[in-house]
Amino acid sequence: MRNFALVITVVAVFFACSVERPSPEETVRSSYLAMENEDIEAYLETVTGPRAAVAGTLLVSFFDEFDVAYSIDTIELLGEIGDVAQVRTVVTATDRSGTGNFRDNRMEAIHKLRFERGKWRIYFSEVGEPVFLGRPVADAVSPKN
């Protein structure tokens, strides 16, 4: 019986050590996918900190008004030290509704992540100025004179 318990313990330790830690980039991808799918719960699993609940509330309003697709053009791990990481992205956001209420754009962001409760979570994102693509909203909404 002792041998059996010892074998089970060794096997459990082996499997615990062999589980690969997820990458910070996976969390950032999951965050954009959750936003594209308008899945607040999945999005909240990718963020942490005092701003997380506020972001969730703001996204509900955003999802009510817009239907946006996100394409990650660039994703790059800038650094990972211990339980802190930074990921740079360039993302193109496009209007899926066809109403013209959302201006297609491309933005660069630096996401700062912490490893908490077995997962990487975004605690801050520094977003650059958007580069707007295509027609301005005013042209899409009102006819030209």
pLDDT, tens only, 73-117: 999 999 999 999 999 999 999 999 988 889 999 999 999 999 999
In a domain, 7, yes or no: no
In a domain, 6, yes or no: no
In a domain, 4, yes or no: no
Which residue range is the domain that position 99 belongs to?
22-141
In a domain, 5, yes or no: no
The Cα diameter of the chain in Å comes to 88
Is 70 exceeded by the pLDDT of residue 145? no
Q: Write down the mean pLDDT value for the chain.
A: 86
In a domain, 107, yes or no: yes
CB atoms within 10 A of CB 10: 10
Provide the b/e sequence for 92-109 (b: ≥16 CB within 10 Å).
ebbbeeeebebbbbbebb
pLDDT band at 20; cut points 50, 70, 90? confident
Q: What is the pTM for the complete model shown?
A: 0.79
In a domain, 3, yes or no: no
Beta strands in the chain (DSSP E): 68-81, 84-95, 105-116, 119-127, 131-132
Q: What dihedral angle (degrees, nearest 10) is formed by the CA atoms of 49, 28, 32, 18?
A: -110
pLDDT reported for residue 114:
98
In a domain, 14, yes or no: no
3-class secondary-structure state, position 70 = strand
In whole angstroms, give the CA distance from residue 102 to residue 28: 22
The domain that contains 112 carries what CATH number? 3.10.450.50
Give Cα 135 distance to the centre of its chain.
27
Which percentage of the chain shows pLDDT scores above 70?
79
Number of domains in the chain: 1
Phi, psi of 16 (to 5 degrees): -65, -35
pLDDT reported for residue 133:
94
In a domain, 1, yes or no: no
Q: What's the start-to-end Cα distance of the chain, in Å?
A: 88
